[in-house]
Copies of this chain bind each other. A is one copy, B any other.
């Protein structure tokens, strides 16, 4: 069980990565306050080869010192677009045939373990650390997914949510080996 060296991991170079086909998953950050959470989401998006991150409203954009701290360069590999208004991002995604899903605890939300992401063009909207996804944005989404949680706290950290969502999408779409 010898640890692999960075070389042995065989990660793609930046230019190779840019040419790889991406999974049709887009993260939409709706007014995420912490640039550290934004950076960490970039790093996750890079690892799972997802299509893009849409940064909306007050969400910080690169170049940004705090994003850099947690993205560690993944802002160069992952495509990103800024929208002043999250609703505009949602409308554009819908007109491009993406299913747009808010990650929120709502009436009639679908639990993540019941969600089907197989071969779906999907955008997931993650919200502000305290306030979550705006209700007006939720109303314009196709449906809501909730990560089942049983603890004393009301929610997970937003970059951890992004990680769980990306993993679940990636896992479901892995080619059986």
Interface residues of A (CB under 8 A from B): 1-4, 6, 9, 11-14, 17, 20, 36, 40, 43-49, 70, 72-74, 76-77, 102, 104-109, 112-113, 132-133, 135, 138-139, 141, 143-144, 147-157, 159-164, 167-168, 170-171, 174
Q: Which residues of B lie under 8 Å from residue A112 when comparing CB positions?
A: 167, 171
The answer to whether B152 and A77 touch across the interface, beta carbons within 8 angstroms, is yes
Give complex CA distance A159, B47 in Å: 15
**A17-B151, A167-B164, A168-B167 known; A44 vs B157 contact (CB < 8 Å):** yes
Q: Which residues of B lie under 8 Å from residue A44 when comparing CB positions?
A: 156-157, 160
Q: Determine chain A's interface SS by DSSP, over half rule.
A: mixed
**A153-B73, A163-B164, A167-B147 known; A141 vs B14 contact (CB < 8 Å):** no
Point out which of A14, A102, A148, A157 has the most chain B C-beta atoms below 10 A from its C-beta.
A157
Residue of B whose beta carbon sits closest to that of A4: B105
21 contacts between A and B (CB under 8 A): A1-B106, A1-B109, A3-B105, A3-B106, A3-B132, A3-B135, A3-B138, A4-B106, A11-B153, A40-B157, A43-B151, A45-B151, A47-B156, A49-B150, A73-B153, A74-B151, A112-B167, A160-B162, A161-B163, A167-B167, A167-B168
